[in-house]
Amino acid sequence: MLVILDTSVIIAFLLSTGKNFIREIIRQAKNGKIKLIASKETIGELKKTLTHQSIKKLPNYKPHLIASFIAWYQYNSIYYSLENTKIIIGSRDAKDDIYIQLALISKAKYLITGDEDLLIIKKIKSTKIITTEEFFNSKTT
């Protein structure tokens, strides 16, 4: 099953301490049940967001763990190029359009996000846009 994780859910995973839905998604990706989808642009956005001072000041910000996860994520994701792609529908926030492009190109089954600007779209062609909780509540795993 092909799955796109947006920056908001990855950061929630990286900065959380307890058990949560995204931790289970990552576990399933490590076990091969889920294949994660990424692009140069989505990885770039993640890295850029993680350098914001507001993020770095959070108590659970652990640079060595974050760097380790990003290395794993880059190595274990299936990459798609967003060059020469066109947007059919855009998000209310233009920064999120890279996820829409990625969904169109990859034909991922799910785009998992906590971003209301993406969630309001609900579906892009065959890709459902849902929260981590909806992903598990719908028995998709």
- In the predicted model, is pLDDT for residue 54 greater than 60? yes
Give the predicted TM-score (pTM) of the model.
Answer: 0.91
Question: Can you tell me the mean pLDDT for 50-66?
Answer: 93
Q: Which of 111, 106, 104, 105 is nearest to 128 (CA)?
A: 111
Domain boundaries, the chain: 2-137
In the prediction, which pLDDT does 42 show? 95
**Strands across the sheet with 2-5, in order?**
78-79, 35-38, 2-5, 110-112, 127-130, 123-124
pLDDT attached to residue 77: 97
pLDDT tens profile 75-94 = 999 999 988 776 666 667 77
What pLDDT was estimated at residue 90? 65
Q: Which CATH number fits domain 2-137: 1.25.40.10, 3.40.50.1010, 3.50.50.60, 3.40.50.10860?
A: 3.40.50.1010
Q: State both tokens at 105.
A: 């190109």
Mean pLDDT (the chain) is 90
